[in-house]
Amino acid sequence: MSEVVLEIPARPEYLALVRQVVAAAAAVEPTFRDERIEDLRIAVSEAATNAIEAHADLESEERIVLRCNLGDDRIEVEVTDRGGGFERASADSEDGAMPDPDAPGRLERERGLGLPLMRHLADEHDITSLDGGTAVRLVVYTPWHGRYG
Amino acid sequence: MLFDLQVFDSDEWVVVAPVGELDLSSIPQVRQRIVQLVADGEQRVVLDLAGVDFVDSAGIGLVVMVAKRLAAHGGELRIAGPTQGVWSVFELVGLDRLWPAHESVADAIAGRTATTMVPDAERAPQ
């Protein structure tokens, strides 16, 4: 795998850079369709936004690390923060399911859409609680995935 | 990343037009401006998304907040001009069922709902 690592201050103004790096890393593999790269850009933006907000909650000065690994059939992106662990991530949405837009009180949920979007847009995602932080791994497969397996 | 926010009156509506990417870095500016507009008595707001080329859940959250705040003051939010790429995020979270997209600001003010979306130049056909 070819790895690209980006380390950023935990500030919102670096989100655009995160998205640019992820899109550029994915575009190295020419079989990725533009809409899948866009899916990945949004999913990674969600993970990085959660990380930045977690750092802000703790007033942490530590940095957020983004690792992009481009494989033959996939791109994996891991966003690692030092923002306090899994509890706040899981509190974002109880099960990561997309909320019903017609449910009573739907508009009370102006937050909490990040995890459902990540789940929907990435082919795989998992969230790992670290010691004092969280790692979110997002995977998008190329159209070639599994074709010769 | 450049971000701009244009605000102008059109008929009885105030048009709020962000230009750039709508994410955690840009939404405080938009939120602050709209909160001020509502505090000043504006009740009818068109959010013109034609110049927005990226939105994530933070941006979606902003739209929900604006709609709630306007509704609490007896007002109304209409959404105009989203590209297909931006509108697909609204569709993913189901908010297209709460607010129809209007193709342009003029359509939003007239209450004409879009039948086809604005083509998204950034999205190649499959």
DSSP A12: G
Helix (H), strand (E) counts: chain A: 4, 5
E strands, chain A, in order = 2-9, 63-70, 74-81, 124-130, 133-141
Shortest CA distance to A124 belongs to which of A67, A43, A50?
A43
State residue A38's pLDDT score. Answer: 95
d(CA A121, CA A108): 23
Domain around B88: 4-114
Contact: B24, A113; criterion CB under 8 Å: no
Instruction: Return phi, psi of residue B57, to 5°.
Output: -65, -25
Distance of CA B55 to the CA centre of its chain: 10
pLDDT(A100) > 80: no
Q: Is A72 helix (H, G, I), strand (E, B) or coil?
A: coil
* Residues A41 and B55: beta-carbon distance below 8 Å: no
Closest-CA residue of B relative to A115 is B57
pLDDT(B48) > 90: yes
Contact: B23, A117; criterion CB under 8 Å: no
Q: What is the pLDDT of residues B2-19, one digit of tens each?
A: 899 999 999 899 999 999
The verdict on residue B126 lying in a domain is no
ipTM of the complex: 0.84
Q: Mean pLDDT, chain A, as a whole number?
A: 85
List the beta bridge partners of residue B80: B48, B102
The verdict on residue B125 lying in a domain is no
A1 confidence band (pLDDT: 50, 70, 90): low
A104 shares contact with chain B (CB less than 8 Å):
no
Question: What is the pLDDT averaged over residues A20-32?
Answer: 93
The verdict on residue B23 lying in a domain is yes
* pTM of the full structure: 0.85
Contact: B95, A101; criterion CB under 8 Å: yes
How many domains is chain B built from? 1
The verdict on residue B120 lying in a domain is no
The verdict on residue B97 lying in a domain is yes
A46 shares contact with chain B (CB less than 8 Å):
yes
Residue B106's CATH number: 3.30.750.24
Q: What is the pLDDT of residues A3-24, one digit of tens each?
A: 999 999 999 999 999 999 999 9
Residue B23 identity (one-letter amino acid)? D
The verdict on residue B48 lying in a domain is yes
B112 confidence band (pLDDT: 50, 70, 90): confident
d(CA B12, CA A36): 41
The verdict on residue B124 lying in a domain is no
For CA atoms A113, A21, A142, A129, give the dihedral sign: negative
d(CA B95, CA B63): 10
Enumerate chain B positions whose Cβ falls within 8 A of a Cβ in A: 1, 21, 23-25, 54, 56-58, 60-62, 64-65, 67-68, 85, 89, 92-95, 97-98, 122-124, 126
